[in-house]
Structure 1
């Protein structure tokens, strides 16, 4: 890792920390930055998940009051399903070759970008089609966790939309549950990736520090940026990365 690559990764992770605090979408910066730094795509995806992990822990601590309002038995059940789905997605990534994953990435990035743009609308239009205690609700959580274990982009948006479909309307509690389950999923993914040797630790350590600093120190700066402007910037990055990785994979 050269000094220029270290600077690029640090800046990308810091900006990702800011983005995740305010609007989400940090994966659109951390994953491409790692690939540009020469990290193979599968390892870059795993390392990106490790890089944003501290932010989920800090968020879960920050939302501890909202998490305390979720019944313990329900939280245990939801966490267990999240662990199973996250582990399955992580194992699926482990058996994916760099070539196959490179061809899938543009579709994943496009899907995550569209979710980012229209996730709020989907959440507002959600109806109580199933609850977290029902079979349909748990099946939905399993699928979302499977996706999150394989590719972290857009996970928070998918969880919020799922909670809306469960009939949840308290946004603070939804954000707390989202952050808590994201931490659970990331914990099992990080453990699986570490055991499998898929993490580029020098890059991961640098980015973990930078993303944590971004989440805390950068939040006041990001709050001064109008939300529509920030969302437009993130969407532009998402679509741009989709096009760049599509060209890289298919040409």
Structure 2
């Protein structure tokens, strides 16, 4: 029972974090490992358990979705689904040690871009005389989305933070205004990866644990989405950046201890 209570709480916290700024995997994954799942199975199970929460958050935002630059919602979603599926396949067939070692550095890069991306974008616009939209074409947006979707299907940690970072520096998009689209794309990636994990992994070896985290994730996802809609733009950006910094520090600390 203590393990189940921990998993339920972790699911609720992770779902809320994903709805507000991302990073829920860092809460969900250790909780599942503590409940007895091997790391790879726990990684797959966390994706399966948190996917419905992401969908619930996306449903709350369904009327607020907008194109990313010149890239339509449907095109971006199709790329997210394709990349998420490929990332899930890679998780099932490749060792995770080398990619896991790169995760803290990817997070550090994303955090720096989130913190200074808008300033860099304005500086580049001034220097080149072109707007951010003119610098990153629709094709470039789709390529970046595919690579991040593969990462999301493979590991998933802070993919939402990285999406916001790319959109911020590449297109000059406001973090708060982009949040609905971030949630929708993370949802597409997770659903695609979940479909493969359900049939080709050990994600359901402990169905009670997964179902418990799923319930917590849905509740947290709905609550977090409503909360994010009510937060002022400046506070939401600050919250997302705080989550990004925290996730980066924790991943570096985990890597140091593992070493």
Q: Does 1:140 align with 2:138?
A: no
Matches within 5 A, 1:57-136: 57-67=55-65, 74-96=72-94, 100-102=95-97, 104-109=99-104, 111-112=106-107, 115-116=110-111, 118-123=113-118, 125-126=120-121, 127-128=132-133, 129-132=135-138, 134=139, 136=140
Which residue is equivalent to 2:221?
215
TM-score normalised by structure 1 residue count: 0.79
Q: What is the rounded CA distance, in whole Å, between the counterparts of 1:68 and 1:233 in structure 2? A: 24
The gaps in structure 1 that reach 5 residues or longer are none
The gaps in structure 2 that reach 5 residues or longer are 122-131
Alignment match of 1:195 (pick from 185, 192, 199): 199
Q: Does 1:8 align with 2:3?
A: no
RMSD of aligned Cα (Å): 3.3
Which residue is equivalent to 2:253?
243
Alignment match of 2:35 (pick from 34, 37, 58): 37
Contact 1:102–1:245, Cα closer than 8 Å, also in 2 = no
| Deviating more after overlay: 176-185 vs 120-129 | 120-129
Contact 1:17–1:212, Cα closer than 8 Å, also in 2 = yes
Aligned with 1:16: secondary structure? helix
- Report the Cα offset of residue 236 of structure 1: 4.3
Q: What is the rounded CA distance, in whole Å, between the counterparts of 2:209 and 2:119 in structure 1? A: 38
TM-score normalised by structure 2 residue count: 0.77
- Report the Cα offset of residue 123 of structure 1: 4.9
CA 1:34–1:114: 2 relative to 1, 3 Å: farther
CA 1:206–1:46: 2 relative to 1, 3 Å: same
CA 1:192–1:202: 2 relative to 1, 3 Å: same
Aligned with 2:257: secondary structure? helix
Contact 1:34–1:44, Cα closer than 8 Å, also in 2 = yes
- Report the Cα offset of residue 124 of structure 1: 5.1
How many residue pairs are counted as aligned between the two chains?
240
- Report the Cα offset of residue 69 of structure 1: 6.6
- Report the Cα offset of residue 156 of structure 1: 0.9
Q: What is the rounded CA distance, in whole Å, between the counterparts of 1:209 and 1:43 in structure 2? A: 19
